[in-house]
Amino acid sequence: MEIKGKKAVIVGGASGMAKATAEMLRQKGADIAILDLPSSAGAEVAKELGGTFHEVDVLDDDQVEAALGAAVADLGGLHIAVNTAGGGTAKRTLTKEGPHPLDEFRKIIELNLIGTFNLNRLQAFHMSTNEPEDDERGVIIDTASIAAFEGQIGQVAYTAAKAGIAGMMLTMARDLGSLGIRAVAIAPSLFATGLTKGIPDEFAAVLTKDSAFPKRLGRAEEYGRLAIAIVETPMLNGLCIRLDGGTRFAPK
């Protein structure tokens, strides 16, 4: 898909990998809408990019539908969706206090997997109304994690959620293929965003010692470059791409 002139919604776009992606899409001529929490820097980022900001909590289904609808109305359409909202907790299947609390497991699944699918189903609906360009109407990019494939001790809920995102890409691509809408996930390793941003070099070196190359934390712009490549390469569809420098998580 040619990016210039396209309409892009970036969920979680106030910071980190999504912000870097929004900046790169804007540089290539896309119009941008940022969706993020009210407490985020979304308004400032959107202003810098000449776009719009829409407050949203992905755990609120009605708010997601309203915010996405408003973003698409402001943009005048939707061709590109990038979704990075999510998070996790550290808790084992069986803890010293007893079994993993079921409500905490449900919350992580709701935030990461169900929240992402809710965005996807609505984004696909908006994309389906586009006039096709070379038979293509849109591309959805979700964010999994390499924890989906080798989750560490204490990541059982997060692993289940991210594995769900990775696992639904092919089926979603098949569901949407007749409409010319693609679905691809990116599975990053440890990136210098969020809690890991600004950690001391010696600590980062410990975390990345088993990487093949480069032996460092990922950079937000590296996620952005892959997202751009996905948008511009129609044959990338129905898969989850690891972005990890050859990292394989140890058990802990």
Query: Which residues are part of the catalytic machinery?
Result: 158
Exposed / middle / buried, residue 99 (Cβ in 10 Å: 0-12, 13-18, 19+):
exposed
CB-based contact 159:101 (threshold 8 Å) = no
Judged by phi (left if over 0) then psi (alpha if -120 to 50, else beta), residue 60 lies in beta
Q: In what order do the strands lie in the sheet with 181-188?
A: 52-55, 31-36, 7-11, 80-83, 138-143, 181-188, 239-243
Please give the C-alpha separations between residue 216 and each of 19, 89, 128, 194, 220, in angstroms, as whole numbers: 20, 23, 40, 16, 13
Exposure string for 178-213, b = 16+ CB within 10 A, e = fewer: ebbbbbbbbbbbbbbbeeeeeeeeeebeebbeebee
All residues at 6 or more sequence positions from 178 whose CB lies less than 8 Å from its CB, including other chains: none
